[in-house]
Structure 1
Amino acid sequence: MLVYDNYGKFIQAASAASALREASAAMRTRCDALRESALRAKALSERTQERLSARREVVEQLRGVRGLIGKLSASLRSAPALEALANASAATATEGEDARTTIAEYVEAKEVLDALGAEGSDAIAFVRAKKRCDAAMEKIVAVLKARARASAIGGDEDDGASKSAFGMSDEVCLELLSALKVSQDELVDDFLMSRKKKLDDAIEASRKSFAELASTPVSERNLKDFMSALNQSFLGEFSNASEAFKKLFSNVNSARNALVKFTKDAFGEYFAFIREIYAPHVDKTDMIAASSSADLLNPKQLMCAMGTMAADLASVHRSVPEAALGDRAVETIERAVRSRVGAAFMCLERDLVRELDATYVAAKAVSAAAANRASGADAATSKSLLHRFIALSDTLLTSVQTLLSDVESLMDERPILISSWREEFAYAVRGHFASLIHALVSRLIVGSPIAPNPAPNPTPLRTPLAVAVDEARESSSKTPPPPSFLLVCARMCAFLHTSATKHIADALTKMFPASSAMGGSFSLDETRAMCESASHVLLMWYVEQSAQRISFMIRKSLTAVDWSKAREPREVRPLADYIADDLATIENECAQVLDVGEIDSGDGSTSFVADGAFTPVRSTQSSVMCAVIKRAVKSYVECVRCQTFHTKFAFQQVSLDVRYLAERVLFRFMPSGQFESDVYERRAIEILLKELRSACELRACDPTPMDKAVGDRILEKI
């Protein structure tokens, strides 16, 4: 049933298969025919290739000759066109585009002319054409260079050269010169030289403006406005020059290097002028020539001006980063800040030198009044040493406070300007203060035979205090300083030890906490130890000088008498009165400068008694007076031991003098007993007086004492 039902379909399928078989056979027959045709065409092509291969080189040469003929024709035609262009007047000049086309055609034909028209060439026509083209091109290049030079030097100003530039713009002239391979280095140099002159003129005008501004007080000067005016003229001129340069010489290979060099040179003058105005002391070899405190620039205005400079230079730095203007600006700011701080320290040192000189003069007056024993002079100078010490210490503290305020203003006004070198700035300020203290101590101890330990190490620079030290050393070698001046210097060193250095160190620690934690050149412990040692050295020097002066009188008094001819004593010799006057002078000087104070007795009575006359001296009135008395009595003892008292009258005279000295003279200057250490001092003096009496007895041939009643009557008459 299935076969019967689909029988029609089977018949159609059989018919379609038979038709497909017949079509396939016909297609195979056609493909065979086409294969035979392709084989015949291949054979024909191979035979043709074989025939043409021998003639291919000739065909290609003919093709090149055709192009060369075109170039030769253009080369020969360029000579008349160039001559016409070179000889054209300004009124009948070719239009700019035509002139540009003519020169461009010559550039294309130049290679052929150079190859075929060289000297010795057989192509006579090309030789003549090359000579005509070269002569005409020399004129055209001269016109183009004149136009470019006039544009470079004169900027946008128009002159005669612009009218004879064949109607072409500056850019086209420079483009054609570049195409003609004409060197533009000369044009670049002319351009930069002309613009450098304009920048120099801008700085010179600003310098004249500042000269007028300098006649006004420093407090009335507006440094920020002056910096703004300077930048407006100088940086504006530089920006115009930079833009014009980039526009004119953008295709010149060496132009960038020339622009960078020009920028460095121009801003070298700019930064030098800024340092001249805002950092006038940084290049001075003689630091004494720094401005006075009244001429110092206001720190806030200075930092405002430096901030204005840095902000205005930012755009120029981005335009020419190779010139490193940012780094040079930071360097200039650093030098200006350092100059301001250095000048402030110079002013501080000058103030201290002035006060020290005044103190020296006052000390000489005190010494002269004491030598003359003039009551009026004593009254006039009774407090002069105290006044000078107060003035000296007040000058130091006030000037230091002002200087620290200036330093704080320099840091706080524009903190970003010193952020990159803040630590170096902190070390510099601390170093300045360390040098100041060392230089001041060096001046105070000038002439001292003993150096403090640790010894001061002042800066080798020629600062006011350094100069004062040299002058004082030269003067002290001829005339020793007055003893009262040593006393003021000792008190000043003690003040530095107890108050001033700690105040400065605390202020620096508060101002620069990081640098303090990392260390620095200002060491509080070492500085205080140096000041304390210097104070002790000066006190010892004062005590030794005073004691030596009394000892000299004692020695002369004993050696000037022929004790073998001594008579019965009727009065006390003047020696004790001389000692009393000298001790009164010492007491007056000490009372002006030193505090009464409490003496640190150390280990107690043992140290005072055992050391006798050479116990440590403290910075108090009582300690200094006792030290001088003990040394004087000890000197008296040694002078007595060098004498021989042949008669009882000689022994009685010396004994009477010693009694008067102990009971009437030294009693007035003995410690009052207000402090615990006074007991040990009195005991030491009494021991020395006992030693003196014992020495008198030992050196007497007849130690018969004077009747006590007779001695009392003699002393009562005085």
Structure 2
Amino acid sequence: MAELAQRLRARLRDDTLDPKELTECVEMLLQLEEPPEELCEEFLSHAGARLETELAALEAELPPADPSGAATTPPPASDILDFVDRGSSAFVGNLCLLAASYRSLFEGCPGVGEGRLEAFAAALTARYFELLERRLALERGLGDTSLLVRALDRFHRRLRALLELLPTAGAEAGAALVARAAGERVARYLRALQTFFLGCLGDVRQALAAPRPPGKEGPGLPDLLATLSSSVLGQLKAVLAYVQLFTAKDVAFASLPYFKGEFCVEAVREGLVVAFVRWLCRTARGFADSPTERGAPAAPPALLLLLARLCLDYEATTISYILTLTDEQFPPEDTGPAVTPGPALCAEARGAAQRLLDHYVQVQGAAVAQMLRKSVETRDWLGTVEPRNVRAVMKRVVEDITAIDVQVGQLFEEGVRRAQSSDSSRRAFSVYSSSRAPGRYAPSYTPSAPMDTHLLSNIQKLFSERIDIFSPVEFNKVSVLTGIIKISLKTLLECVRLRTLGRFGLQQVQVDGHYLQLYLWRFAADERVVQGLLDEVAASAAHRCLDPVPMEHSVVELICERGKILILSFW
């Protein structure tokens, strides 16, 4: 019997024994009444060496750990499902067999310490989880999400079989590993959505800046907006469909509490959908808030207008649709964490749209104002000749305002205009009055002294409605055009106040002002705004004139009619 025991012990030290042969060998030694404590030690030592070999084989497939986290690591030779299959069939499968054999061999044996198997298995499973984490970290791209879900599902199923034998072998760590892998994939989808949106914006900017052959028009703003909106929404719906694979009914880990509650709310709804909508609003708003770096091209005004319309559409319908779709596909629990309400997101989108539209008005108003400022500053108003024509810059201003009217009208509704007087385009300007009251002809005064003229102008301002130049605009065309016109005419007023004019300089201002009145009133929400600002321009010119002799109104009308241009007007 002693010789048989020695032969069995010699065989026990053979590294080529498989788990079944190891179990048979130890079982016979126990029948020969060999010390259970020694056999337990040798059993775990032999099993540990075999399992360590299997872990080493898995680790050999992984590149060395890079503490810097650089993305220069070459892609793995096999996919994640193949890696998990080998780990599950070899390491986890053998660990299950050895755990079952250990319990059948040493259960109730005296001298065998309690918890030795649990500690032995916990150390090995911790190493296996670490290797699997490293392999999952190599999944840098989006790849095939269904492949990742199948791999995690297979890992979870085999781990669940192990936990039936060893409940303390890492249940929480395994569930946390699956949750982290799913959360990391959702985070990558968020980054992919952001990259996709920036790419779409780049396409829009390229389409806006592309030169057009003569006679061929490019895509209009409505087409660009529809393409951008549908592309982003379609991509978001596709991402939700991919993420929904993690909660499919045939996936074992979908029954975990994390995937029933926290994953649906915090990872998908808040971490993906809400985070993307907020990022989109911040990105769009950044075109208005961020100062342009030196040498960097500023955002084209058409892009500001398009993004304002996009954010307004999100506020009106898109956000509600996206949140409803998300809640249907990933229903939150009644007792789950609090979620971001839809109205809060809509308010952010509307705020971004308002900021973009205000910035559009400021940019376009500044462009027109710059033309007017240069035209005033570069002219000799004392030595100018008697006016015979409307200055070319005034015609350019009307052309630019008309083009802006067409551009804004492509994306925004007309808006409400104040009832127009029947003679808006025929109204005359007095260089001695800044009254903003509408009428066929502004009252013409002939004061006894220049001081009286200035005093009369200031008195009339007390009874006129104050014009807020930089007030927020409404989401309609006439409000946008009114804001641009106010900025332009206010700039003209301030520039005239800084010049000294002769008689003919005053008359040129009179002609230019009448020409602007003929056309600009029809773009504004209230014609009195245009009339009032042009009245102030004329009054300031008269106050700064050394010889304030105005031109006859009939002559002014004749000059303006001669310089009349064809303009498309949209009412």
What TM bracket, shorter-length normalisation? 0.7 to 0.9
Residue 587 and residue 652 in structure 1: after superposition, are their counterparts in 2 closer, same or farther (change >3 A)?
same
TM-score, with normalisation over the residues of structure 1?
A: 0.61
Q: CA RMSD in A?
A: 4.1
Q: Which moved more, 1:412-421 or 1:539-548?
A: 412-421
Do the aligned residues in 2 keep the contact of 1:489 with 1:535 (CA within 8 Å)? yes
Aligned letter for 1:598?
G
Do the aligned residues in 1 keep the contact of 2:8 with 2:29 (CA within 8 Å)? yes
Match of 2:430 in 1: none
Alignment gaps of 5+ in structure 2 = 64-74, 419-435, 438-463, 564-571
DSSP 3-state at the match of 1:322: coil
Alignment gaps of 5+ in structure 1 = 1-95, 101-139, 160-167, 215-220, 282-288, 370-374, 450-471, 672-677
Match of 1:79 in 2: none
Equivalent of 1:235 in 74, 77, 92 = 92
Give the distance between the partners of 1:696 and 1:202, measured in 2 at CA. 87
Residue 185 and residue 537 in structure 1: after superposition, are their counterparts in 2 closer, same or farther (change >3 A)?
same
Equivalent of 1:633 in 480, 484, 489 = 489
Give the distance between the partners of 1:180 and 1:658, measured in 2 at CA. 110
Question: CA shift at 1:424, angstroms?
Answer: 0.9
Give the distance between the partners of 1:616 and 1:205, measured in 2 at CA. 62
Match of 1:351 in 2: 196
Aligned letter for 1:401?
K
Does residue 560 (structure 1) correspond to residue 358 (structure 2)? The answer is: no
1:64-143 counterparts in 2 under 5 A? 96=1
Do the aligned residues in 1 keep the contact of 2:225 with 2:310 (CA within 8 Å)? yes
Match of 1:312 in 2: 158
Aligned letter for 1:149?
R
Give the distance between the partners of 2:20 and 2:153, measured in 1 at CA. 36
Instruction: Encode CA deviations 1:575-620: one digit per residue, 9 max, x unaligned.
Output: 213323432442343234x22243599xxx99x9543534431222
Residue 544 and residue 238 in structure 1: after superposition, are their counterparts in 2 closer, same or farther (change >3 A)?
same
Match of 2:422 in 1: none
DSSP 3-state at the match of 2:13: helix
TM-score, with normalisation over the residues of structure 2?
A: 0.75
Question: CA shift at 1:536, angstroms?
Answer: 1.0
Match of 2:254 in 1: 418
Does residue 595 (structure 1) correspond to residue 412 (structure 2)? The answer is: yes
Query: How many pairs were matched up?
Result: 503
Aligned letter for 2:198?
V
Residue 198 and residue 567 in structure 1: after superposition, are their counterparts in 2 closer, same or farther (change >3 A)?
closer
Residue 525 and residue 490 in structure 1: after superposition, are their counterparts in 2 closer, same or farther (change >3 A)?
same
Equivalent of 1:547 in 359, 365, 368 = 365
Do the aligned residues in 2 keep the contact of 1:362 with 1:384 (CA within 8 Å)? no
DSSP 3-state at the match of 2:235: helix
Do the aligned residues in 1 keep the contact of 2:100 with 2:165 (CA within 8 Å)? no
Do the aligned residues in 1 keep the contact of 2:369 with 2:488 (CA within 8 Å)? yes
Give the distance between the partners of 2:364 and 2:391, measured in 1 at CA. 21
Give the distance between the partners of 1:516 and 1:694, measured in 2 at CA. 68
Match of 1:360 in 2: 205
1:228-307 counterparts in 2 under 5 A? 231-243=88-100, 245=102, 253=111, 257-272=115-130, 274-275=132-133, 290-291=141-142, 295-298=143-146, 303=149, 305-307=151-153
1:605-616 counterparts in 2 under 5 A? 610-616=466-472
Question: CA shift at 1:628, angstroms?
Answer: 0.4
Question: CA shift at 1:430, angstroms?
Answer: 2.0
Aligned letter for 1:324?
G
Give the distance between the partners of 2:278 and 2:498, measured in 1 at CA. 44
DSSP 3-state at the match of 2:556: helix
Give the distance between the partners of 2:264 and 2:192, measured in 1 at CA. 20
Match of 2:222 in 1: 386
Residue 501 and residue 476 in structure 1: after superposition, are their counterparts in 2 closer, same or farther (change >3 A)?
farther
Question: CA shift at 1:477, angstroms?
Answer: 8.2
Does residue 662 (structure 1) correspond to residue 500 (structure 2)? The answer is: no
Give the distance between the partners of 1:684 and 1:158, measured in 2 at CA. 98
Do the aligned residues in 1 keep the contact of 2:415 with 2:477 (CA within 8 Å)? no
Does residue 653 (structure 1) correspond to residue 508 (structure 2)? The answer is: yes
DSSP 3-state at the match of 1:356: helix
Aligned letter for 1:442?
R
Identity %: 22
Instruction: Encode CA deviations 1:287-323: one digit per residue, 9 max, x unaligned.
Output: xx542xxx2413xx65555444433333321222221
Do the aligned residues in 2 keep the contact of 1:431 with 1:521 (CA within 8 Å)? yes
Residue 272 and residue 98 in structure 1: after superposition, are their counterparts in 2 closer, same or farther (change >3 A)?
closer
Match of 2:552 in 1: 707
Match of 1:135 in 2: none
Do the aligned residues in 2 keep the contact of 1:355 with 1:388 (CA within 8 Å)? no
Does residue 431 (structure 1) correspond to residue 270 (structure 2)? The answer is: yes
Do the aligned residues in 1 keep the contact of 2:320 with 2:342 (CA within 8 Å)? yes
DSSP 3-state at the match of 2:382: helix
Residue 232 and residue 662 in structure 1: after superposition, are their counterparts in 2 closer, same or farther (change >3 A)?
same
Which structure has more RCO (C-alpha within 8 Å, separation ≥ 6)? 2
Give the distance between the partners of 1:501 and 1:364, measured in 2 at CA. 30
Residue 701 and residue 241 in structure 1: after superposition, are their counterparts in 2 closer, same or farther (change >3 A)?
same
Aligned letter for 1:704?
V
